[in-house]
A and B are shown apart, each in its own frame.
Chain A
Amino acid sequence: SYVLTQPPSVSVAPGETASIACGGNNIGSKSVHWYQQRPGQAPVLVIYYNNDRPSGIPERFSGSNSGNTATLTISRVEAGDEADYYCQVWDSNSDLGLFGGGTKLTV
């Protein structure tokens, strides 16, 4: 079965750029979606179709996807960006979504 691998944690100083990786076999051939989950809150979609942002999501959030790695990039990181981030692809075999294990971003 398909597996998405994320680093457990990433640390970044305020104002710097954070990059969160999501690894999977030939993930570049799939569409990757990203969710932010702040402590005690429900997840929020921040990137869909690799690099599209829902309305209300700052331009500081961007995504890329190529080869075996998709990446969520957060520019000019703020304290409010501290959260868990999950990547997700669609598994055509099960016809369900598949999440990575999540990455805790510490600012």
Chain B
Amino acid sequence: EVQLVESGGGLVKPEGSLRLSCEASGFTFKNAGMSWVRQVPGKGLEWVGRIKSKTDGGTTHYAAFVNGRFTISRDDSKNTLYLQMNSLKTEDTALYYCTFTYCSGGTCYSYSWGQGTLVTVSS
């Protein structure tokens, strides 16, 4: 069974930093593309970014609103995905989900989701 467990959320002041983690199990993590998706409480889903597996090049892609502030990385030896968030803004307040992103035939979808970790940016 695929399991994704996020951690690292919390309260941070504007312009502060936070690192989220996502521990994966139940599948071969090193071969998996992974994504972060966020959701402002009461609002819709928004893709933050994704990282390909190292065999697919290990490249990262980010939404325009990230604007160089966030970095997605992975440690395949620990089956863990990370999201380093710097220069946080109040509008980054959201529940952040880690997802196992499956890609084929020119499209991708989030096959499994964690339960999310809440990030609150407030002074």
State the A residues within 8 Å of B (CB): 30-31, 33, 35, 37, 42-45, 48-49, 54, 86, 88-90, 92, 94-102
Contacts and interface: CB of A to CB of B under 8 A. Distances in A.
B90 interface: no
Interface residues of B, number: 27
B50 interface: yes
Contact of B105 (A31, A44, A98, A102): A31
B61 A97 contact: no
A32 to B, nearest CB: 9
Interface string B51-84: 0000000000111100000000000000000000
A89 B63 CA distance: 15
Contacts of B46: 99
Interface of B: 35, 37, 44-47, 49-50, 61-64, 97, 101, 103, 105-116
B44 A102 contact: yes
Nearest to A96: B47
Nearest to B109: A33
B64 to A, nearest CB: 7
Contacts of B61: 94-96
A37 B42 CA distance: 12
B107 A30 contact: yes
A101 B110 contact: no
